[in-house]
Amino acid sequence: MVQKLSCFKIDNNNPLMEFSLLYSSSVISINKIIVDTLLDEKDDEWFYKLYKMNLYLELSGKGRCEQHIDMPVFTFMSVNPVPQKPIFTFNHDFIFPEYNIHNESETDFCKEVKIEVKPVRGQLPDNFSLTFFYDATPGVAPKDIARVCLNG
């Protein structure tokens, strides 16, 4: 059973979202990211502004796996953006942590996930906001439940 389409925001005040993973099969499947900050920008300007922000997304898993992924937010441009808007839908969901997907151990698994957006240099732009839409398997528990919106 999978909890369908929840979301959370990452912004200037909350650049980090943490989840506890209670079971060895617990994973988060990110399927869409919206750059809220740039939704009102003109079609030909948001792309350049996002590129200039020079941000990267950091995902880390703690526990037995110690999995860590860094990727520039700009790489989402190649992930099927909605035409003319900073909305990125993954053709294949981005599942994290991969270590837990085929894990059969009840004690040896990633037990915590952190998702953070960081600038390469300096600070996040003023009024910066990203919304992540995700599915979760049983046992995924956001540490700050007040920041989670259910059913997108």
Q: What pLDDT digit, counting tens, does each position of 105-144 carry? A: 666 777 888 888 877 776 777 888 889 899 888 888 888 8
Span 10-19, pLDDT tens digits: 888 888 899 8
CA distance 27 to 137: 6
Q: DSSP per residue over 60-78, as a string?
A: EEEESS--EEEEEGGGGGG
Structure tokens at 70: 């860094």
Q: What is the pLDDT of residue 146?
A: 84
Domain borders along the chain are 3-149
**Residue 10 CB coordination number (10 Å):** 22
| CATH number, span 3-149 | 2.60.120.340
pTM of the model: 0.81
Name residue 6's amino acid.
Answer: S
Q: What is the pLDDT of residue 2?
A: 60
Give percent of the chain above pLDDT 70.
70
Q: Which of residues 35 and 76 earns the better pLDDT score?
A: 35
Nearest 5°: phi and psi at 45?
Answer: -110, -35
